Structure 1
Amino acid sequence: MPPISSKDLHRIFKKLDKNCDGLICLQELNWLLDSIGIQLTMEELESFLERPSLDFDEFLFFYESISKQNKGECKGGVAGCVQDNDNDQGQDDMEIVYLAFKVFDMNGDGFISCDELENVLVKLELWDASRSDVDYCRSMIRAYDTNLDGKLDFEEFKNMMLLTT
């Protein structure tokens, strides 16, 4: 299961699909990956996909493959990830959750602050940047912040992801 709920991934896909044809092109996909800190060249995308665009199911498959590659599990780049899919599903889920945590933990301190949460949600176009509703952001964190320190550690984030997917 992706670290972001299927509903949110579908919303991201729809926002990327500017002409509403049910497909996203390589440039749109590359923009999304860059915005969350995953660096791939257009050549790598073209080589892996062997097509000019993706439908939603292909987008999900690609997302899971990139998650595995970024975690360092795959040999041979993105294409190696596609061939290495006989891992235990529970382990795969935890690795994806860990990768998502690293995306949100922008400063690498092992915690997700309100500012970091807001920044990533803005980049994914799931948050209106002009809104800047700090109380709403804090309430999102507070809902899963079991030690009440005002930020999420990995265990708290993992529990949130397991409850919302």
Structure 2
Amino acid sequence: MVHMGQEEITLTSPSRSFRLRSPSLNSLRLRRIFDMFDKNGDCMITVEEISQALNLLGLEAEVAEVDSMIRSYIRPGNEGLTYDDFMALHESIGDTFFGFVEEEKGDESDLREAFKVFDEDGDGYISASELQVVLGKLGLVEGNVIDNVQKMIVSVDTNHDGRVDFTEFKDMMRTAIVRNS
């Protein structure tokens, strides 16, 4: 459960943005994500813009669900989230999701769902090409050059098979959580 304002919302999917090791890098990455969601460049992210981005990732977010989740973070008079609102929302969801993962070590279903977003062919591995597709859907420039994507894979590929399996993905996520704590 996430407590947002007066509402309680059950998260069925984990946050799609995990914390990076450095607060300054996390802030930069969060700003880039905000700018990517802000399709019309008005420095505000609407419910529709967030829903579109989630749908591009295959997460099929209904506008009403997204609206109920973020409504308490939108300031009165605004049509969407400002960057500061987006940061507050991200922190709230991130704290809830990552706290849940740490408390419930036996329950890996949320991590498996996140892994499935990247493992597009369902073979149990994230390849460089699959990672590149997801980064491209998100509009992140890191996905434009396959060499950059392959470096990302190598950085977490502990068994050196050229792809990321669920155990490596889980270790990477938990390492990112622990280093940020």
Q: TM-score, normalised by structure 1?
A: 0.67
Report what 1:42 is aligned to: 63
Determine which of 22, 38, 42 is the counterpart of 1:19.
Answer: 42
Task: Name the SS of the counterpart of 1:39 in structure 2.
Answer: coil
1:60 and 2:87 matched: no
Which residue identity lines up with residue 159 of structure 1 in the other structure?
A: D
C-alpha distance in 1, partners of 2:142/2:132? 9
Deviations 1:92-137 (A, max 9, x none): 89554333211111111110001100011111122366x4x32322
- Percent sequence identity over matched residues? 34
Contact 1:114 1:141 in 2 (8 A): yes
C-alpha distance in 1, partners of 2:89/2:56? 16
C-alpha distance in 1, partners of 2:100/2:149? 35
Q: Bigger shift: 52-61 or 134-143?
A: 52-61
Task: Name the SS of the counterpart of 1:141 in structure 2.
Answer: helix
Superposition CA RMSD, Å = 3.3
Go from structure 1 to structure 2 and tell me whether the alpha carbon gap of 1:151 and 1:56 turns closer, same or farther (over 3 Å shift): same
Report what 1:112 is aligned to: 126
1:98 and 2:112 matched: yes
Total equivalences in the alignment = 143
Go from structure 1 to structure 2 and tell me whether the alpha carbon gap of 1:9 and 1:35 turns closer, same or farther (over 3 Å shift): farther
1:163 and 2:175 matched: yes
Report what 1:126 is aligned to: 140
Contact 1:111 1:151 in 2 (8 A): yes
Structure 1's unaligned 5+ residue stretches are: 69-85
Contact 1:118 1:127 in 2 (8 A): no
Task: Name the SS of the counterpart of 1:38 in structure 2.
Answer: coil
Task: Name the SS of the counterpart of 1:37 in structure 2.
Answer: coil
1:154 and 2:181 matched: no
Task: Name the SS of the counterpart of 1:53 in structure 2.
Answer: coil
Go from structure 1 to structure 2 and tell me whether the alpha carbon gap of 1:27 and 1:152 turns closer, same or farther (over 3 Å shift): same
Which residue identity lines up with residue 12 of structure 1 in the other structure?
A: I
Which residue identity lines up with residue 49 of structure 2 in the other structure?
A: E
C-alpha distance in 2, partners of 1:151/1:59? 32
Structure 2's unaligned 5+ residue stretches are: 1-13, 20-25
Report what 1:29 is aligned to: 50
C-alpha distance in 1, partners of 2:140/2:103? 27
Which residue identity lines up with residue 25 of structure 1 in the other structure?
A: T
